[in-house]
Amino acid sequence: MSSGDCLFFSATVIVATVVWVYIGRKWKFSVLALAMYFPTVAAVLFADDMHSFVIQCLGFNKVTTSIQYSLLGAVAAVAIVSICAVLDLAAGWAKNEDSSASSIHDHNKSVWGFVRAAGEEIGWRCFLLPCLMSRYSPCSALFISGIVWGLFHVPVMLLLSVRLKPPRPWLTILVQFTSVALAAFPHGWLAIQSNYALWASTMMHFVWNKVNPIVLGSIYTQTPGWLAGPQWLINGEGFSGCVIMFPVAVLCCWALQ
């Protein structure tokens, strides 16, 4: 695929997501989140050699590598959320929340949370990223994939901001976009190290979707976790996440040089 094809793939997913969110603007968040499968569906449609693509995604030729980097991805997700929590408390941005309410989104509560995370990762890290890597430097490829991944989240963030009217809605959308774009660097690094198999980046994505809401709340539903505070500020997908994820992104770029 040419670089234009890589970007056409990205645009197709984003446009489909915009249409989906517009059509389903009154749907529940769990239904809107079915858009997580769009990147994989598009990858299947765009793949030149489906057999080779499936073999690459499954990574069965390097099982040990997939397991090792999957464990690293899980640890990294927990570590980043934990460091965000320490930053939030140290800066006085958050306080302990005595709440039994669950902030984990319904679609992430079971094993299907892993399947949905894979729905994104197969498209972004198993298909788009190697396409970009074949034409750009590693840092440029990760940067472009991050911008695309961030834009993919904007439609639903716009809709939820209209629905929930959080404080500073535009800032909420901006920091969520930025944190996701930066998160593409560690997700992408894991994918590169594991030969673009789905497991490592999906595991990081899955564990993040579990741990971040429990500890820091949900920037999507504006629900507090163990810590309470403005979601645009304290969330792992908010300003706090941007602060912590930036040096992680720089480190990933440096490691790929």
- Looking from the CA of 118 toward its CB, the CA atoms found within 13 Å total 12
Per DSSP, the three-state class of 101 is coil
Between CA 189 and CA 229 the distance in angstroms is 31
Predicted local confidence at residue 241, as pLDDT: 97
Predicted local confidence at residue 1, as pLDDT: 62
- Which has the closest alpha carbon to 45: 2, 4, 5? 5
Residue 105 near residue 221 (C-beta atoms within 8 A) = yes
- Which has the closest alpha carbon to 178: 252, 237, 109? 237
Per DSSP, the three-state class of 95 is strand
Predicted local confidence at residue 254, as pLDDT: 96
Q: How far apart are the first and last CA of the chain?
A: 24
Both tokens of 180, joined, read 């996701």
**Can you list the positions of beta strands (E) in the chain?**
95-96, 227-228
- If one counts every other C-beta atom within 10 angstroms of the C-beta of residue 219, the result is 29
Give the CA distances from residue 90 to residues 74, 149, 192, in Å, rounded to whole numbers and listed in that order: 25, 30, 34
Contacts of 38 (CB under 8 A, 6+ apart): 13, 16, 17, 20, 119, 123
Predicted local confidence at residue 108, as pLDDT: 57
Predicted local confidence at residue 168, as pLDDT: 93
- Tell me the sheet residues that pair with 228: 95
Q: Which residue has the tokens 């997501």?
A: 17
Per DSSP, 157 falls in state H
pLDDT tens, N- to C-terminus, the chain (257 residues): 655 788 899 999 999 999 999 999 999 988 999 999 999 999 999 998 999 999 999 998 888 999 999 999 999 999 999 999 999 999 999 998 765 555 665 555 567 889 999 999 999 999 999 999 999 999 999 999 999 999 999 999 999 999 999 989 999 999 999 999 999 999 999 999 999 999 999 999 999 999 999 999 999 999 999 999 999 999 999 999 999 999 999 999 999 98
Angle at 39 between CA 182 and CA 25, to 5 degrees: 90
- The count of residues in the chain is 257
This prediction's pTM = 0.93
**Identity (one letter) of the amino acid at 174?**
L
Residue 213 near residue 105 (C-beta atoms within 8 A) = yes
- Looking from the CA of 9 toward its CB, the CA atoms found within 13 Å total 30
